Structure 1
Amino acid sequence: MEASKADVSIVVVPYPAQGHLNQLLHLSIILSSHGLTVYYAAPRTHIHQARSRLQGWPASATNSLHFHELPIPPYTSPAPNPNSSVFFPAHLQPLFEKFKHVQPHLAKLLQSLSATSRRVVVISDFLVSFAATEAAALPNGEPYTFRCTPPSSVLAWEGEDGPAGNLIKSFGLNTPSTEDCTTEEFLAIVAQSKSMPESGMLISTCGVIEGDFLDLFMQQPDLMGKKLFAIGPLNPTVITETTGPRHRCLDWLDKQPPGSVLYISFGSNSSISDEQIEQLAIGLLNSDQRFVWVLREADRGDLIAEGEKDWQNKLPPGFIEKIEGKGIIIGDWAPQLEILAHQATAAFMSHCGWNSCIESISMGVPMLAWPMHSDQPWNAVLISSYLKVGVIVRDWSPRKEVLLAVEIEKAVKEVMVHDKGEEIKRRARELKEAVRRAVGDGGSSNTELLAFINHITRS
């Protein structure tokens, strides 16, 4: 290990939700592959969650990482409410409230590393404001935040007036309402991040995806004078091997024609009502397209907590028999990266969480956007109207209404069957190649990553 790297310790602190855990584990693997000492610090159950769901890397990828458990007080882990009028996963709030109690345990780790390291670099999720505070208190600490949502979504939330609104309107884009995107309790957590100390920010995006927005994002008052590194995507863009046993759905995909299968998944934290499940099932059946549908209960705060495993009983009578040979239902965790990378996969019906967007873009798979909460309504606009690599299935305005099967069928056929779908697929392939160049040697994301590494290991 180079002397300049040997005495620099990096502590990565994710927020305890799948989309955050996943991206920061990818980042930890990448940094450790460059010879850096990296600690991934999280509660025990969330370390397990992140590691057990890791995809796209060789099994040895985490061998050089240090997984540091942060004790967390007991918390309730209620079931999600698929019939809630707001789709934000409010059932995770008890976990979010208890998570702040890991602060003294994180402080102890940082103080220990500070005594033996030339520099302690803390990369914390932008929602973990206390980690940046603890890093800034060290004589040799440097806090960096990691934003796991797109910078353009931050600009979209600023409203229609001002430079951000003008830029968005210049592209002919309509900013969706922020109503029902989150809860007041969660907004209070977000507000704490506004004043956290930070030396800079890392973002899971790149110029070919959001170049028009990055310059304006960097002009935000709270970012002026700070270093910004756009280093995404962080997930592997080419899948060469799996980290665990091969999922049965991949064997099924092997038997399907190239570019013939629609993949449906609404992410780890979203649920849909029984009535909506029925309409989606009918729409898929009537579309006459092959599909892989992930139908599972949204994550609870603790994955060990008992949840509903068999959602197939919510499907219309006879549905399983009717789709035999044409579609499969997955009731557990699905290997999304591997599904998207499979040659049989043609399109992805998604909630448009940023993880899913980035992964779909990386694999050149068009999206059918069905946003649920948070930044997802904006991401759906970005995918469909700005990047033009997808279509909207569920518009955000009538979000509280059940989307009928006929509308679902129409959207599926638009991408899978009609001529418009061919143009979308072409653009998706082109964007995939551009993104892969960005993360390759000499690409913009790779250059920014190396600039970050050089900065934190400077003399």
Structure 2
Amino acid sequence: MEPEQQPNNSVVVVMVPLTAQSHLNKLLQFAKIISSRGVPVYYMGSTMHNRQAKDRVHGWDPSTISNIHFHDCQLQLPQVITPHHDLYFSKMFPLHLLPILIQLREPLSSLLRSLSATARRVVVVHDSLMSFAAEEASLISNVEAYYCFHCVSVFALLYLQWEAFGKPIDQGLQGGDIIPRDLPRVSFEGCFPEDFSEYAAQNIQWSMLDVGNIYNSCYAIEGRFLDLMAQHQSDKMLWAIGPTNPVAFDSSAGVHHKCLEWLDKQPQSSVVYVSFGTTTSLSDAQIATDGLDICNDEVIKQRFIWVLRDATDGLDICNDEVIKAQLPNGFEERTKRVGMIVREWAPQLQILAHSSTGGFLSHCGWNSCMESLSMGVPIAAWPMHSDQPRNTMLVTEVLKVGLVVLKSLI
């Protein structure tokens, strides 16, 4: 797809998101913020993932914003068969995304050269795991700026970087601690598969070309850690622009979903929302024990909405053969008075914003954390992989707005 021709004096922005849902969402929310300043934004990805991003965005309709252009790339997507849930941790991390990411490099180069031929300046904003975009941008004279958008918490990123440098976590900058002394010193070992760690290491090399870093965070939440990051990366500009998600809704407009209608009938702050994101599947054994202990009305009579989908991370959009998580016979019937099981995509931000929602049982992905924090909903944390254990520490031990329910990796 050829981009629209831009005036010679114009500035355009190119967004390069990772193809995981939470990353797609964050970059699209940021695209909305930039486009509201009158700057054209090109949001690039596979045709399927761009459609996914548009279909699943919360709080606004991308089709109503004329200067966000979805640049669809025809890629060879992997054939993903939804795994059985008892193939647990090896299927928790979306390694199937890696072959997709490499394919985006050539279409990005073509897009940048086309835009640079007419626009005065092209600015590239890329996901921290798509840092090859910085190298591509550096090859074109009027692609003058490229910024890394970090989709994880500053707290988790500091923890990861300091460990990568081989330094004690309590040997902080300028004599202070990076991590508060009363928190456990927990390694990232085991949080990432080896193949992903190798890809991430390559991204660190490419990211040296970036002129600045953007964080989906703010001083009210991570001020101390933003200051430490600024000291640690004094050669780069730093912006904290979060939360990128909307923080208020018009109740008369937006998404209409059966779970929102159900919430309308519940008492204020009475419902626990349960969701573990798009890259995590619970095993059948966990559903039958830990999960049901939390939600079963015969145990605690707790109202709940439980999003129980398998973790194919959007590649099930064109797949009718999705394996569904197995609940004990009769569970949904027994709990229908107090709960709802949602098998399809759920409007998470609207659920968290609803007055009947009183808590969030979460894997503590940073997208979910920021949405929950911005809506004032406390978090019951069940971290799984990646940055989630560190986000759990931030939420429960530093901010003290949640508690740990189960410890998968921390």
Instruction: Tell me whether the two structures share a fold, i.e. TM-score over 0.5.
Output: yes
Fraction of identical pairs, as percent: 42
Map residues 190-201 of structure 1 onto 2, 5 A cutoff: 190-196=200-206, 197-201=209-213
Aligned twin of 1:239: 249
CA distance in 1, matches of 2:187, 2:176: 16
| 1:344 aligned onto 2:353 | no
Aligned twin of 1:281: 292
The C-alpha deviation readout for 1:426-458, integer Å capped at 9, x for no partner, is xxxxxxxxxxxxxxxxxxxxxxxxxxxxxxxxx
2:155 to 143, 152, 157: 152
CA distance in 2, matches of 1:42, 1:351: 26
Aligned twin of 2:11: 8
The C-alpha deviation readout for 1:292-339, integer Å capped at 9, x for no partner, is 00011112462313342543xx22232222212211100111000000
CA distance in 2, matches of 1:334, 1:299: 15
CA distance in 2, matches of 1:240, 1:88: 38
Deviation at 1:4? Answer: 11
CA distance in 2, matches of 1:242, 1:381: 37
| 1:57 aligned onto 2:66 | no
Could you state the TM-score of these two structures normalised by the residue count of structure 1?
Answer: 0.80
RMSD over equivalenced CA pairs, Å? 2.3
Aligned twin of 1:419: none
1:186 to 189, 196, 203: 196
Aligned twin of 1:71: 74
Aligned twin of 1:421: none
Q: Cα 1:233–1:56, aligned 2, differ >3 Å: closer, same or farther?
A: same
2:385 to 360, 373, 380: 373
Deviation at 1:245? Answer: 4.8
2:113 to 81, 102, 111: 111
1:125–1:147 Cα contact (<8 Å) kept: yes
2:318 to 290, 293, 304: 304
Aligned twin of 2:308: 295
Structure 2 SS opposite 1:162 = coil
Structure 1 SS opposite 2:104 = helix
Aligned twin of 1:128: 130
CA distance in 1, matches of 2:92, 2:120: 41
Letter in structure 1 aligned against 2:40: T
CA distance in 2, matches of 1:175, 1:334: 35
1:126–1:147 Cα contact (<8 Å) kept: yes
Deviation at 1:85? Answer: 5.1
Map residues 345-364 of structure 1 onto 2, 5 A cutoff: 345-364=357-376
1:370–1:393 Cα contact (<8 Å) kept: yes
Aligned twin of 2:3: none
1:297–1:309 Cα contact (<8 Å) kept: yes
Deviation at 1:38? Answer: 0.6
CA distance in 2, matches of 1:341, 1:301: 24
Q: Cα 1:379–1:394, aligned 2, differ >3 Å: closer, same or farther?
A: same
Deviation at 1:173? Answer: 1.7
Deviation at 1:5? Answer: 11
Aligned twin of 1:21: 24
Aligned twin of 1:441: none
Range that drifts further, 294-303 or 156-165: 156-165
The C-alpha deviation readout for 1:29-57, integer Å capped at 9, x for no partner, is 11001100110011111001100001112
CA distance in 2, matches of 1:264, 1:8: 42
1:335 to 332, 343, 347: 347
Deviation at 1:194? Answer: 1.4
2:361–2:381 Cα contact (<8 Å) kept: yes
The C-alpha deviation readout for 1:86-107, integer Å capped at 9, x for no partner, is 36634x3233123212211111
CA distance in 2, matches of 1:102, 1:243: 35
Letter in structure 1 aligned against 2:152: T
Could you state the TM-score of these two structures normalised by the residue count of structure 2?
Answer: 0.90
Letter in structure 2 aligned against 1:306: D
1:370–1:395 Cα contact (<8 Å) kept: yes
Q: Cα 1:87–1:153, aligned 2, differ >3 Å: closer, same or farther?
A: farther
Q: Cα 1:81–1:202, aligned 2, differ >3 Å: closer, same or farther?
A: farther
Q: What is the number of residues matched between the two proteins?
A: 391
1:79–1:300 Cα contact (<8 Å) kept: no
Structure 2 SS opposite 1:95 = helix
Deviation at 1:389? Answer: 0.5
Aligned twin of 2:271: 261
The C-alpha deviation readout for 1:57-90, integer Å capped at 9, x for no partner, is 2565543311101222242223245334536634
CA distance in 2, matches of 1:96, 1:81: 21
CA distance in 1, matches of 2:8, 2:250: 29
1:88–1:373 Cα contact (<8 Å) kept: no
Q: Cα 1:246–1:293, aligned 2, differ >3 Å: closer, same or farther?
A: same
Structure 2 SS opposite 1:251 = helix
Letter in structure 2 aligned against 1:122: V
Q: Cα 1:242–1:65, aligned 2, differ >3 Å: closer, same or farther?
A: farther
Structure 2: 5+ residue stretches without partners: 1-5, 164-168
Map residues 379-418 of structure 1 onto 2, 5 A cutoff: 379-397=391-409
Q: Cα 1:100–1:134, aligned 2, differ >3 Å: closer, same or farther?
A: same
CA distance in 1, matches of 2:124, 2:218: 22
Aligned twin of 2:225: 213
Range that drifts further, 9-18 or 154-163: 154-163
2:212–2:236 Cα contact (<8 Å) kept: yes
Map residues 81-92 of structure 1 onto 2, 5 A cutoff: 82-84=85-87, 86=89, 89-90=92-93, 92=94
Q: Cα 1:118–1:349, aligned 2, differ >3 Å: closer, same or farther?
A: same
1:13–1:125 Cα contact (<8 Å) kept: yes
Deviation at 1:282? Answer: 3.4
Aligned twin of 1:36: 39
The C-alpha deviation readout for 1:331-360, integer Å capped at 9, x for no partner, is 111000000000000000000000000000
Structure with a larger share of its residues in helix: 1
